[in-house]
Amino acid sequence: MWNERESPLRIEKRFEFEQYSKISEFMEKIEKLCKESDIYPNISFGKNFVSLSIFLDNKVISDREKNFSEDIDKFYLED
């Protein structure tokens, strides 16, 4: 589940990985999705995690942002 945060308004999620090589594959999928959807989240990662923050323009998550976050969840579940 994505967590909603305020100041600034955003949704965030941390994804855990057992192998660093899986992070690279996950990031490649995110990169392609970003280009297709024109949404560019803040991304941080370490040897076993990737954290994403999607900043929201409105007071609620839009369908576009919701679909984007759901696609990322699907990428994670594929691995």
Give the alpha-carbon dihedral of 41, 47, 49, 54, to 10 degrees. -10
CA distance 72 to 27: 10
Q: Quick one: DSSP state of residue 48? A: S
**Top-confidence residue, 7 or 25:** 25
Q: 38-73 pLDDT, tens per residue?
A: 999 999 999 999 999 999 877 788 899 999 999 999
Tokens representing residue 67 in the block: 């679909």
Q: What is the largest CA-CA distance in the chain?
A: 36
Identify the structural domains of the chain with CATH numbers, from first to last. Answer: 3-78 (3.30.1360.20)
Q: Is 11 left (phi over 0), alpha (psi -120 to 50) or beta?
A: beta
